[in-house]
């Protein structure tokens, strides 16, 4: 078997909840009501503001203003409000399995800006995540697989320092879920979050 072959544990990364959320929204090519396109407008606006100044200046109003003519209060809250459509955290809750719900509870926010940042981190990290998973094989010890994933998170954090530090240095939720999968449920979502938060802090 060659390195990177899709085997039992590694193949499960193709079926994660957050991965399914990304693929479902990003795979929509319809020109109208394209929620992924709308979300990306706000993800880019939030990261641009973080890069430009302190997080204290990040509000729904500043994000809408940064989004330009395509931004509005109504579409911001469609993306990030408590009743927003297609929230990442709702997919985790809806999955129903204890591990997914545990991760959801760690990313369940009352502040819509913080909720937007959690999703922005996943969007920003996704290409790094995909590159990392292609390096994995079940021939690797779990510790080595974790190091590959952690290195991807650290590399992302160095390239996107302001975004990585936002929301208490929380890592992308997809990486947290991936880490629990690599440990085959023997590492809780809370533990995975703590390990990867430390990776972000020290990157």
Task: Give pLDDT, residue 70.
Answer: 86
Which pLDDT does position 31 carry in this prediction? 59
Q: How much is the pLDDT for 56?
A: 66
Q: State the pLDDT at residue 27.
A: 84
List alpha helices for the chain, DSSP H.
8-11, 17-26, 35-52, 60-67, 73-80, 88-95, 98-106, 112-134, 142-159, 161-169, 173-182, 189-202
So what's the pLDDT on residue 3?
A: 42
Residue numbers in the chain where pLDDT is lower than 50: 1-6
């Amino acid at each position: 078997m060659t390195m990177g072959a899709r085997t039992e544990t590694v193949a499960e990364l193709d079926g994660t909840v957050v991965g399914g959320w990304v693929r479902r929204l990003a795979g929509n090519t319809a020109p109208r009501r394209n929620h992924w396109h709308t979300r990306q407008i706000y993800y880019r606006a939030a990261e641009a503001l973080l890069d430009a100044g302190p997080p204290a200046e990040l509000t729904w109003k500043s994000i809408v203003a940064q989004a330009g003519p395509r931004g509005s209060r109504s579409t911001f809250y469609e993306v990030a409000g408590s009743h927003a459509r297609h929230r990442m955290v709702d997919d985790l809750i809806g999955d129903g399995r204890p591990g997914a719900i545990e991760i959801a509870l760690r990313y369940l926010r009352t502040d819509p800006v913080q909720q937007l940042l959690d999703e922005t981190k996943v969007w920003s990290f996704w290409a790094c995540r995909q590159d990392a998973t292609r390096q994995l094989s079940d021939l690797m010890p779990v510790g080595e697989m974790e190091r590959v994933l952690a290195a991807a998170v650290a590399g992302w954090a160095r390239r996107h320092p302001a975004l990585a530090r936002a929301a208490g240095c929380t890592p992308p939720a997809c990486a947290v879920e991936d880490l629990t999968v690599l440990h085959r449920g023997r590492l809780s979502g809370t533990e995975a979050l703590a390990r990867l938060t430390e990776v972000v802090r020290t990157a």
